[in-house]
Copies of this chain bind each other. A is one copy, B any other.
Amino acid sequence: MSTTNNSTGITAPAGFRAAGITAGLKASGGRDMALVVNDGPSKAAAAVFTRNRVAAAPVHWSRQVISDGRADAVILNSGGANACTGPQGFQNTHATAEKTAEVLGLSASDVVVCSTGLIGEQLPMEKILPGVAAAAAALAADGGATAAEAIMTTDTVSKQAVFTGSGYTIGGMAKGAGMLAPGLATMLVVLTTDAQLPAADLDAALRAATAVTFDRTDSDGCMSTNDTVVLMASGASGTAPALEDFTAGLTEVCHSLAQQLITDAEGASHDIAVTTVNAATVADAETASRAVTRSNLFKTAIFGNDPNWGRVLSAVGTTDAAFEPDKLNVSINGVQVCRNGGIGDSRDLVDLTGRQVTVEIDLNAGVESATIWTNDLTTDYVHENSAYSS
């Protein structure tokens, strides 16, 4: 599998065209609208969305689109989230879908819409609608890279991944730094495949893949109003893989994209994998790991190259996971700094100067495990997010 920026990404699978163009939404003048079209023969699709109850207009729209298991195209814009924009905002999403349908000869009810950017501002439709036409005119069978570029906001690099299966291919692109329900950046992901699978199978595979990748990626604990992960299958390969195999491949693509998000998270200087082992249940392992990845004190300590394991224990102690406090072990970058809930090997042995940090929490309560990926909390994060909308 390619885990770096692939020159084709979402257009690696047969049956897809894509484009990324400049509609004038970004002050920088960079590409800001993307379009992905499934040319079939199948139009099967599935999607997962933010669980935030304050969901953006495009999320409300796209939930309806995907409800029949079909999507023919996805139109995406950066430079504005179209969230908290009331009835006007929903009309703007509708108009964007209608325009996309018109220029492509589709039904608007088969067009997924995704937006990302500042909450609480109306989109400049005088730029969006011409942008749709320009994107349609620019569609190309190798347009994945430009589409991946057009959905970037605070991303510093575009994110793509490709998985080559037995007789079929899965491609993907992503933007935004955070969990499936992340913060500022909103996470938008488009996944494509030329495998032949019905919508119900796509839905099952997508939920399984996101549960152990994007759902376990938590940059800053904040849940966006716009997160969307959409998967479209063209069936153009003629290959109908076993669902288990397809799910494994899709998970690889999602894992690669999630890791790329973490590596490019806002202001981060360390990528941190917090793994809880020997938990009574997977849920316990997730809960314990997530508590640590949400501790500002732990995350600032890592920024300072400080193996402050007390902040790991104090975070785990806030959870209801099954464990005895005096049986907890914690290792940081392989050094067991906490043993039996107390002082272990010297914290001076821990080297945190590298980018990658691993924290292992041993609950001594079972056999299950789970990893949550996050970043450190840095002065650059604060700077970047204190100046976002002003």
Mark A residues whose CB is within 8 Å of B. 51-55, 81, 83-86, 88-89, 118-122, 181, 183-184, 220-225, 294-297, 300-301, 303-306, 308-311, 313-319, 323, 325-326, 328, 337-338, 340-343, 347, 377-379, 381-383, 385-390
Bound together, the chains give a CA A83 to CA B310 distance in angstroms of: 8
Residue of B nearest to A320 (CB): B53
Q: What chain B residues lie within 8 Å of A311 (beta carbons)?
A: 119, 222
Bound together, the chains give a CA A85 to CA B339 distance in angstroms of: 10
In the complex, the answer to whether A310 meets B119 with C-beta atoms within 8 Å is yes
In the complex, the answer to whether A381 meets B300 with C-beta atoms within 8 Å is yes
In the complex, the answer to whether A301 meets B386 with C-beta atoms within 8 Å is yes
In the complex, the answer to whether B387 meets A306 with C-beta atoms within 8 Å is yes
In the complex, the answer to whether B301 meets A342 with C-beta atoms within 8 Å is no
Bound together, the chains give a CA A382 to CA B302 distance in angstroms of: 11
Chain B's nearest CB lies how many Å from the CB of A66?
A: 20
Known: A53-B325, A311-B119, A340-B86. A389 touches B306 (CB 8 A): yes
In the assembled complex, 30 residue pairs joining A and B whose CB atoms fall closer than 8 Å, in A order, are A53-B318, A53-B319, A53-B325, A54-B313, A54-B314, A54-B316, A54-B341, A55-B325, A83-B310, A83-B314, A84-B310, A84-B313, A84-B338, A86-B340, A89-B342, A120-B310, A120-B347, A183-B296, A184-B297, A221-B296, A222-B315, A224-B314, A296-B385, A300-B382, A301-B389, A303-B382, A304-B385, A304-B387, A306-B386, A306-B389
Bound together, the chains give a CA A320 to CA B160 distance in angstroms of: 35
In the complex, the answer to whether B382 meets A52 with C-beta atoms within 8 Å is no
In the complex, the answer to whether A317 meets B388 with C-beta atoms within 8 Å is no
Chain B's nearest CB lies how many Å from the CB of A11?
A: 32
Integer count of this chain's copies in the complex: 2
Chain B's nearest CB lies how many Å from the CB of A86?
A: 3
Bound together, the chains give a CA A86 to CA B301 distance in angstroms of: 23
Known: A315-B222, A341-B84. A54 touches B325 (CB 8 A): yes
In the complex, the answer to whether B296 meets A388 with C-beta atoms within 8 Å is no
Q: What chain B residues lie within 8 Å of A309 (beta carbons)?
A: 84, 119-120
Bound together, the chains give a CA A388 to CA B299 distance in angstroms of: 12
Bound together, the chains give a CA A389 to CA B332 distance in angstroms of: 15
Q: What chain B residues lie within 8 Å of A183 (beta carbons)?
A: 296-297
Q: What chain B residues lie within 8 Å of A303 (beta carbons)?
A: 382, 386
Bound together, the chains give a CA A308 to CA B120 distance in angstroms of: 9
Residue of B nearest to A340 (CB): B86
- A382 is contacted by which of B88, B319, B382 (Cβ under 8 Å)? B382
The 10 closest A-B pairs by CB, nearest first: A119-B310, A304-B386, A54-B317, A86-B342, A300-B385, A52-B317, A379-B379, A53-B317, A120-B310, A300-B386
Chain B's nearest CB lies how many Å from the CB of A176?
A: 13
Bound together, the chains give a CA A293 to CA B390 distance in angstroms of: 21
Most buried by B among A54, A86, A119: A54
Most buried by B among A52, A310, A319: A310
Q: What chain B residues lie within 8 Å of A296 (beta carbons)?
A: 183, 220-222, 296, 377, 381, 385
Q: What chain B residues lie within 8 Å of A337 (beta carbons)?
A: 120
Chain B's nearest CB lies how many Å from the CB of A80?
A: 11
Q: What chain B residues lie within 8 Å of A300 (beta carbons)?
A: 381-382, 385-386
